[in-house]
Structure 1
Amino acid sequence: MARRPVPLRRPTYIQRLRAPEASRGNALHAGAWWLWALGLATAASRTTNPLLLGLIVGVAGYVVTARRTDAPWARSYAAFLKLGLFVLALRLVFSVVLGSPIPGTHVLFTLPEIPLPSWAQGIRLGGRTTAEQLVFAFYEGAKLATLLICVGAANALANPARLLKSLPAALYEAGVAVVVAMTFAPNMVADVLRLRTARRLRGRPTGGVKAVLQIGLPVLEGALERSVAVAASMDARGYGRTADVPPAVRHTTNVLTLGGLLGMCAGTYGLLAAEGARYGLPVLLVGLALALAGLRLGGRRSVRTRYRPDRWGVRAWLVAGSGAAVAALMIYAVTLDPEGLKPGVVPLVAPGLPLWPAAAVLIGLLPAFVAPVPPKEAS
């Protein structure tokens, strides 16, 4: 008796949403990672609450740990984390040495004050240090450190080469310079580690001024050779060719692009500043529309083609949308609970954790579940 064929089960909706193993065909668009990181950075700029800032850092760190690869540029998150801690410590040192306009009654210690001339009125060196001014400096330094860490998360997750590939044709020349600048330092660090490992295997010292000088020359030589090789390959592929466009189109492109970029700068400043939240978003949207129109016209000058361009799929929308949702909800929370997002220091009170802004920050964890899993972590 013949056996009936077993019907294949269709994957359920949850299984279809489960993050697949990353490959060249389903790689997440690099721009989605940057939009997600900028959304977290925008949310961090709206608050000085150390609990919310720590939550944003935790969200960014978890996503980076879950979705970064072993590429050299993916190791930059630790460097940005250390840079953020350094900026925080430096802000506290400046507050102690240069003083602060924040009044306070809880004096911690007093440094010898250096008298300054009359033209330096408002600045002091030394003097008393209060708990209120240190807490205020800690809040401000933590916000700046969080912004740097969010940028570091974008650098660790977004492939610079694929980001260059996705840039509009009008920005290709500038994008090459930016990508080379972003990838030179990680590659140089990789060369340093490789040379130090080779010296260690040969029994040679890896520390000291002499070792640094002996390692530095091969590293710079290798970087120069890579730059020459890249320039030769670009020349062989006909890089730099431009199409002839009418002068009116060139002038219109310049006006639209410049006006759009200025509008985006003004709108971004309005969103980041506490007083410009009303006009920031409309100006940003108008500037973005003008810049896109200028880039669209400017793309006519470029005749380059793209091989297998990255697609902006559903997962890219989810990643970018999660960052935008965090930013929008945090901006809205400022109008509802300004004291919770920006705790005061006079009088000195312990900051509380606003519940629904904290829940809004947790939306930023969505990329850790929908973005493609790197091969090393795929099950």
Structure 2
Amino acid sequence: MPSGRPDDADVAERLRRAQIHPGAWWLWSLALGTAATRTTNPLLLALLIAVSAYVVAARRPDTPWARSYDAFVKLALAVIVIRLFFAVALGSPIPGTHVLVTLPEIPLPDWAQGIRLGGRVTVESLLFAFYDGLRLATMLICVGAANALASPSRLLKSLPGALYEMGVAVVVALTFAPHLIADVRRLRAARRLRGRPDRGIRGIAQVGLPVLEGALERSVALAAAMDARGYGRTAQVPVAVRRTTAALTLTGLLGVCAGTYGLLTADGGTYGLPVLLLGLLAALAGLWLGGRRSPRTRYRPDPWGPRAWLVAGSGLAVAAATVLARSADPAALNPGVVPPTAPELPLWPAAAILLGLLPAFVTPAPASARDARERSRHDPFR
């Protein structure tokens, strides 16, 4: 008699379909980063950071690569501090009349015109540096959210064949930092359990060698796995197909550059969008033809379902609303620093940014430890 328990294939299929396509998470985070590039309003940037942090806290899985979000947040804080330090030490091109402090200025030779060390530190220059650093920090945090939510290996499986080799290099680079952070935490915890120091120059020096050794071992194992799976193998395609692929790809990239330039300029609004769309179509056709040179199969490809559309669409809606808001009211999205003015929170751009919270409610909760063990047992290639 049947026991009523699902077999291994059913469990593996249920776990696979419960996951969101990694491309949707990357589109969502890159769209939030695009929205951050269109504004220097600290209130809107803080709202973007809060939205991404809430989604990460609600949907981040319990995996080593998902713990890299904290490192991106620390890197973002370091960017703000460094940007303010440069504004104080090297000066700023922003004129200002509200002087906070006057530092001793070091005279420089004539060939270093435009650069100064020390001098007056004004409120306007610090505000400009803070807004600029906060915008870059927001972009870094959005990229960190993508690293915490999307599996790099699953994203690699979704790339077209023409981008497979480049995708492998990018995935290896993206997974290096999470593995490095995990190794440092593991070794520091082991040293604390043994009663040995894990801070200071001595602790860092004694932790660095095992971390380097682990990185070299992973590199050798990765090279062996890539060689065993035929990495770099290409299929023979006709010369006409290769030339057509190169022509379509080059034409598409030129069209994307020209269309993007047209959209960013005031005079190119009539031709920018059509040229951009034609360039995208040509580039996609080139990628499709180029994929014939990379013969490979996909084991259980990730489906792009309605939830993935909602995740990607929410991020794209945030980016589109921010771009439109800057065109309609640029002063609200870029508060002035000369003279210093208190930033105000524009209502409908802020409401549009809150659409980025949609993935926290429409996506399934992260897998528990039991589900993770089931996935590893039923789907070892995951």
> TM-score, normalising length from structure 2?
0.86
Name the structure 2 match of 1:4: none
Instruction: Write the mapping of 1:1-379 to structure 2, written as runs, cut at 5 A.
Output: 23-264=15-256, 278=269, 281-376=273-368
- Cα distance, 1:212 vs structure 2: 3.8
Q: 1:280 to 1:210 in 2, by over 3 A?
A: farther
**Residues 173-197 of structure 1, C-alpha deviation per residue, up to 9 Å, x if partnerless?**
1111111111122112222322333
The 1-side partners of 2:268 and 2:53 are apart by 28
Name the structure 1 match of 2:11: none
Q: 1:222 to 1:265 in 2, by over 3 A?
A: farther
Aligned pairs, number: 356
- Cα distance, 1:274 vs structure 2: 7.8
Aligned AA (2:196) = R
Aligned AA (1:91) = R
Indicate the larger mover: 41-50 or 181-190: 181-190
SS at match of 1:31: helix
Q: Which runs of 5+ in 1 are unaligned?
A: 1-21
Aligned AA (1:184) = F
Indicate the larger mover: 180-189 or 226-235: 226-235
8 Å CA contact retained: 1:262, 1:287: yes
Indicate the larger mover: 240-249 or 26-35: 240-249
SS at match of 2:295: coil
The 2-side partners of 1:32 and 1:93 are apart by 37
Give the share of equivalent positions with the same residue, in percent: 71
SS at match of 1:24: helix
8 Å CA contact retained: 1:168, 1:299: yes
Aligned AA (2:66) = A
Q: Which runs of 5+ in 2 are unaligned?
A: 1-13, 371-382
> TM-score, normalising length from structure 1?
0.87
The 2-side partners of 1:135 and 1:219 are apart by 40
The 1-side partners of 2:103 and 2:95 are apart by 17
Aligned AA (1:315) = R
The 1-side partners of 2:108 and 2:128 are apart by 25
Name the structure 2 match of 1:17: none
SS at match of 2:345: coil
- Cα distance, 1:211 vs structure 2: 4.4
Aligned AA (1:236) = A
CA RMSD of aligned residues (A): 2.4
8 Å CA contact retained: 2:16, 2:302: no
8 Å CA contact retained: 2:68, 2:177: no
8 Å CA contact retained: 1:196, 1:215: yes
Q: 1:280 to 1:74 in 2, by over 3 A?
A: farther
The 2-side partners of 1:215 and 1:195 are apart by 7
The 1-side partners of 2:268 and 2:194 are apart by 60
Q: 1:218 to 1:93 in 2, by over 3 A?
A: closer
- Cα distance, 1:117 vs structure 2: 2.4
The 1-side partners of 2:300 and 2:311 are apart by 21
**Residues 332-370 of structure 1, C-alpha deviation per residue, up to 9 Å, x if partnerless?**
111211111111112221111100010011111111111
Aligned AA (1:302) = S
Indicate the larger mover: 215-224 or 167-176: 215-224
8 Å CA contact retained: 1:269, 1:276: no
